[in-house]
Chain A
Amino acid sequence: DAGVTQSPTHLIKTRGQQVTLRCSPKSGHDTVSWYQQALGQGPQFIFQYYEEEERQRGNFPDRFSGHQFPNYSSELNVNALWLGDSALYLCASSSHAVNYGYTFGSGTRLTVV
């Protein structure tokens, strides 16, 4: 049973560029949440998708956007990258019907130079 799959694992981008990160949830999960984890910090909630709609959003600017597809996979898009966007981006999947916590992917390490 595959867990949460994220791609790519590492990425280097230049300031001002745009980036798209991808996530496939665990089998049986229908909800995807995205977190940003800066170095030495705890994960910070970006947003959550269920039924292809953004259901909740954390304190992140509109440069951060997302999408969920009918097969429950999800993308995180970040426009106009800043140096401060450098972080580990974690995707977590869960079941909407049973809120017993997330299953996390291994993350995408984004470096903005």
Chain B
Amino acid sequence: AQSVTQLGSHVSVSEGALVLLRCNYSSSVPPYLFWYVQYPNQGLQLLLKYTSAATLVKGINGFEAEFKKSETSFHLTKPSAHMSDAAEYFCAVTRSGGYQKVTFGTGTKLQVIP
């Protein structure tokens, strides 16, 4: 079975400050990992994905994440927070091959303080 744990259900940062959202995964096989963002009353939008290529993954809106196998982590970062980054962020895991469901974490709500 695969799972992800997101540390911190709520994170607050000042506008312009570093954003760091934490995700640890559990998987018995090499995982594929994702970060999704959800704005209020909307679906989920893919920010970035790790699929066993480069361990540092760059996504949309200036976000990036680094896959660290030794730490089983896939933390999401952004150097400078914008007000528009306020949303809920979900880490997710799956595996290669067909019929693979994606398992989501419980989410981290990011608040950006002006």
Contact = CB atoms under 8 A, between A and B. Distances in A.
Main secondary structure of the interface of A (DSSP, over half): strand
A62 B60 CA distance: 39
Interface stretch (B12-20, B61-69, B72-80, B97-105): B97-105
A6 B44 CA distance: 13
B96 interface: yes
A24 interface: no
Given A33-B102, A43-B104, A45-B101, A99 B42 contact: no
Contacts of B42: 106-107
B46 A101 contact: yes
Given A41-B107, A99-B94, A104-B44, 10 more contacts: A45-B101, A45-B103, A55-B98, A58-B101, A90-B44, A92-B44, A96-B98, A99-B95, A99-B100, A106-B42
